[in-house]
Structure 1
Amino acid sequence: MAAIKPITGMLRRGLITDLSIALGLGLVFSNAFWYGFHVPRTNARDNYYKKLEEQRAARQGA
């Protein structure tokens, strides 16, 4: 009967590879969301309210 080779090294290597890929992709997509969607929308919102406040101040003569 032939002995079966242990697979512990393959399991550990696969786990490290899977975790590295998952963390890498997570960082890439989270940065894409943050700088591609969240920051521009936040800046647009802040500019909108700044413009409203300037208009309100101009109407009141302050």
Structure 2
Amino acid sequence: MSETSLRLEALEVKAAFTEDLLDQLNLTIYRQQLQITQLQRELQALREQQPEGTPRSLRDELPPHY
């Protein structure tokens, strides 16, 4: 094989790996967006459960080791 053919093959291999990596990253971003959306829904549900103007006790603010 000529040097040009070897270099072309190496570039094709890199392109294939890059495409695979891009697909994996896209899937990761998609899954993370689903998680974010679900967490936003859960946060909204929690906010709706707590009535507005409910006084909070300072005791609720203390870390558990106190």
TM-score greater than 0.5 by the shorter chain: yes
Distance apart, 1:59 and its partner CA: 8.0
Unaligned ranges ≥5, structure 2: 55-66
Task: Note the residue ranges of structure 1 that are not aligned, 5 or more in a row.
Answer: 1-5
- CA-CA distance at 1:58 after TM superposition: 5.4
The count of aligned residue pairs is 54
The reply to whether residue 40 of structure 1 matches residue 34 of structure 2 is: yes
Percent of residue pairs bearing the same amino acid type: 15
For the aligned residues, what is the CA RMSD?
Answer: 1.9
The structure with the greater share of residues assigned to helix is 1
Give yes or no for the alignment of 1:21 onto 2:21. no
Please state how far the C-alpha of 1:7 moved relative to its aligned partner: 3.0
Taking structure 1 as the reference length, what is the TM-score of the superposition?
0.71
